[in-house]
Chains A and B, each alone.
Chain A
Amino acid sequence: QSVLTQPPSASGTPGQRVTISCSGSSSNIATNIVNWYQQLPGTAPKLLIFNNDRRPSGVPDRFSGSSSGTSASLAISGLQSEDEADYFCATWDDSLNGLMFGGGTTLTVL
């Protein structure tokens, strides 16, 4: 069981806005940056958001991240079918002295 809690699933219709949460604690999200990874079926994860709210070059601005207190979230606006994937949050945990990933959220575009 991960110290970072994500909903196992999320869904939306094309064009909708979807938010995925990542809940942590004072030893991780509250004091360290959060990154988000997108994993399309059968492929390696891809960096989607880094340093809480920054997008790497090439990531559409439909994807945005935020972090406040012990929680972080990933928002996807203008949902598209190619956004169907697993999404993972990641941050360092000072108590466990290691990088932690959330359990992952499977996004379905209906």
Chain B
Amino acid sequence: QVHLQESGPGLVKPSETLSLICSVSGGSMSNYYWTWIRQPPGKGLEWIGHVYSSGRTNYKESLKSRLTISVDTSKQQFSLKLSSVTAADTAIYYCARGLYYDSSGTFDHWGRETLVTVSS
């Protein structure tokens, strides 16, 4: 069974870089869209972006200038880096496995929630 596990700091200072890693076990990373999604506490879901197993990326337009998502298939990991964070970036962050094609939005496996708080 595929399992996704996020890791990273739960507290980040304003203007610094939020970094998370998602470790994938139980299956190959090939031919999937490895995705980050976030959810501000008590609010709805927001797609952040994804990286295909080949390394090709697609990002939410409003986050593009601050965002890097990368994959390391040899380590069975993919990562999120979001720079110059503000309180608006405080959210539960999920990693997820996307199926089929770039824009399908079909996520069949999700990591457990990771709360990241931006505060000094």
Contact = CB atoms under 8 A, between A and B. Distances in A.
Given A33-B106, A44-B113, A99-B47, 20 more contacts: A2-B44, A32-B103, A35-B104, A35-B105, A44-B94, A44-B110, A44-B111, A45-B45, A45-B94, A50-B99, A51-B104, A56-B108, A88-B44, A90-B45, A92-B105, A98-B47, A98-B60, A99-B103, A99-B105, A101-B46
B60 A51 contact: no
Contacts of B94: 44-45
Contacts of B108: 47, 56
The bracket for how many chain A residues form the interface is 20 to 34
Contacts, number: 60
A91 interface: yes
Q: Which of B45, B112, B113 has the most CB of A within 10 A?
A: B45
Interface of A: 2, 32-33, 35, 37, 42-47, 50-51, 56, 88, 90-92, 96-104
Nearest to A47: B108
